[in-house]
Structure 1
Amino acid sequence: MKNELFSIGPITIYGYGLMIAIGVLAAYFSATYRSKKYALDPDKVFYVTVWAVIGGFGGAKLLYLITQLPAILKDPSLLKDARNGFVVYGGIIGGILAAWLYCKVAKLKFIKYFDLVMPSVALAQGFGRIGCFLAGCCYGKETNSAFHILFHDSAYAPNNVPLIPTQLISSGLDFLNCIFLMWFAGKKKGDGQVAGLYLVCYSVGRFVLEFFRGDLERGNVGSLSTSQFIAIFTAIAGVVLFFWFGKKKAQGPEKNIQEEKVV
């Protein structure tokens, strides 16, 4: 596990950043490829991706700052370092809201693109968690199990201590979620079910995995971590979406409202 992979002159390539970049590209290309099957405009997928990435990073950073608000109020200088500190749930919420806003402005049916991109979001998260593994963040609790990892030069995780490999477990769950959602997309009864199922699967997995996390910079709401608290509501929202849209038949190819007027 090494976050600083290599350097090219004054430029250092970090494992975390590289995995995030790979994840974003993998998400974009997979969504673009699948858009043809569902008769959606690949060009629109590009803009949905851009907006979702911007909103995702902004939301992830904002939620992190909220969880760290007490510490920031005591020491405002913590705001100077913008490199570290992201909460995945903030990224999911921010990305969805940004994509919805773009679809509203572009007069696109958001729910169809929502279904299309969520398996790709799970794919991106799988790569992102590998980045967490390389950096040593989001680490697990100390364990006596043979199934553990040791960090030797991490700026985040305790070094030379056997830890539960929560990053790799999370990555594996994300990849499985991606595969499952892509399979289910061909069997859905209505647009919106894939997105709802993503929220349920991710929320349940995240809620359970949080019990095995050892990092403390995640905030809490009572006895639950911030992510566990949010997971309860996103899981409920996912269940509602799944059954609500299950009553509606999946619609045909997407048509831009402006194009329909021209025709």
Structure 2
Amino acid sequence: MRPVLFELFSRPIYGYGTMIAIGILAALLLLSSRVKKNSKYNEDDIYNMSLIAIASGIAGGKLLYIITEMRNIIEDPSLLKDVGSGFVIYGSIIGGAISIFFYCKRKKWDTLDTFDLIIPSIPLAQGFGRIGCLLAGCCYGRPTDLPIGIVFNNSPFAPSGVHIHPTQIYSSIFDFLLVIFLLWYDKRKNKKGNTFALYIIIYSIGRIIVEMFRGDPRGTVSILSTSQFISIFTLILGIVLFNIRKPKVSFNN
């Protein structure tokens, strides 16, 4: 854990914010390289869309955090004072996706084709973001006796001196592998929207599994965490999206 990476002009540079910034930059660079290979899009338009999506993602992540933590916020409104923390990744994904959808409609772009172009950048940003979680000590795991467990000391989030699952590392590795898979898959001749749909399917499954090892306090819906509950619906959405446009098989005599 390293909440503060270093000081610059006597001001602390936080690990979480730095990794978020690196993740966004890496995602934009990957998207830029993909746009250059696709003559259907103008780089300036994609850049503008990306900025809108980032802002919408931040707003969506904060909004879903407020919704899921409403009971605690009512009891302690000071939780809202720290505007730099308290985000739910699914809110960010949904907020960004909505803004991209409307931007595509405005530009008269093929929405599914655009999502296919953008989507490998998303888990890339998420992977770096989870490294930020590791540095900050948030999103930590349950206690474990496994040798892969890690121990935090003096963390404002994770319990000190407890051997716990490195769920941030699990998530980060999963996200980076997902980037590689999506880039490989997208090179194949597939129907529009399939790369996007596979991201939804695989991420939903991965999130359900990783949540089983999480030990930090977060919203719940019955026996499920909020993210697991949302993942069930996104998984169904991804499966439907992947299969709904399959061509009908015809038999010729």
| TM-score, normalised relative to structure 2 | 0.93
Q: Give the corresponding residue for 1:31.
A: 31
Residue 63 of structure 1 contacts residue 86 of structure 1 at CA under 8 Å; is this kept in 2? yes
Task: For 1:32, give the aligned amino acid.
Answer: S
Gaps of 5+ in 2: 249-253
Q: Give the corresponding residue for 2:63.
A: 62
**More moved, 199-208 vs 67-76:** 67-76
- Please state whether the residue corresponding to 2:119 is helix, strand or coil: helix
Task: For 2:241, give the aligned amino acid.
Answer: L
For residues 68 and 179 of structure 1, what CA distance do their matches in structure 2 show?
34
For residues 245 and 112 of structure 1, what CA distance do their matches in structure 2 show?
13
For residues 119 and 161 of structure 1, what CA distance do their matches in structure 2 show?
35
RMSD, matched Cα? 1.4
For residues 156 and 75 of structure 1, what CA distance do their matches in structure 2 show?
17
Q: Give the corresponding residue for 1:200.
A: 201
Q: 1:246 to 1:185 in 2, by over 3 A?
A: farther
| TM-score, normalised relative to structure 1 | 0.90
In the TM superposition, residue 82 of structure 1 has moved relative to its aligned partner by 1.7
In the TM superposition, residue 101 of structure 1 has moved relative to its aligned partner by 1.8
Task: For 2:77, give the aligned amino acid.
Answer: P
In the TM superposition, residue 108 of structure 1 has moved relative to its aligned partner by 2.3
Residue 2 of structure 1 contacts residue 153 of structure 1 at CA under 8 Å; is this kept in 2? no
Q: Deviations over 1:25-79 (max 9, x none)?
A: 1111101101222323222221221111111111111111111111122233332
In the TM superposition, residue 186 of structure 1 has moved relative to its aligned partner by 1.1
Q: Give the corresponding residue for 1:242.
A: 242
Q: 1:27 to 1:246 in 2, by over 3 A?
A: farther
Gaps of 5+ in 1: 249-263
For residues 22 and 69 of structure 1, what CA distance do their matches in structure 2 show?
30
Q: Describe how 1:51-200 pairs up with structure 2 within 5 A.
A: 51-200=52-201
Q: Deviations over 1:163-185 (max 9, x none)?
A: 10000010000000000000000
Q: Describe how 1:1-16 pairs up with structure 2 within 5 A.
A: 1-16=1-16
Task: For 1:28, give the aligned amino acid.
Answer: L
Q: Deviations over 1:144-169 (max 9, x none)?
A: 11111111231111111111000001
For residues 11 and 246 of structure 2, what CA distance do their matches in structure 1 show?
50
Q: Deviations over 1:67-98 (max 9, x none)?
A: 11111222333322222211111111111001
The number of residue pairs the alignment matches comes to 247
**More moved, 118-127 vs 33-42:** 33-42
In the TM superposition, residue 99 of structure 1 has moved relative to its aligned partner by 1.2
Q: Give the corresponding residue for 1:19.
A: 19
Q: Deviations over 1:221-253 (max 9, x none)?
A: 1110000000001011111111224549xxxxx
For residues 76 and 166 of structure 1, what CA distance do their matches in structure 2 show?
28
In the TM superposition, residue 107 of structure 1 has moved relative to its aligned partner by 2.6
Q: Give the corresponding residue for 2:230.
A: 230
In the TM superposition, residue 113 of structure 1 has moved relative to its aligned partner by 1.5
In the TM superposition, residue 3 of structure 1 has moved relative to its aligned partner by 1.3
Q: Give the corresponding residue for 2:251.
A: none
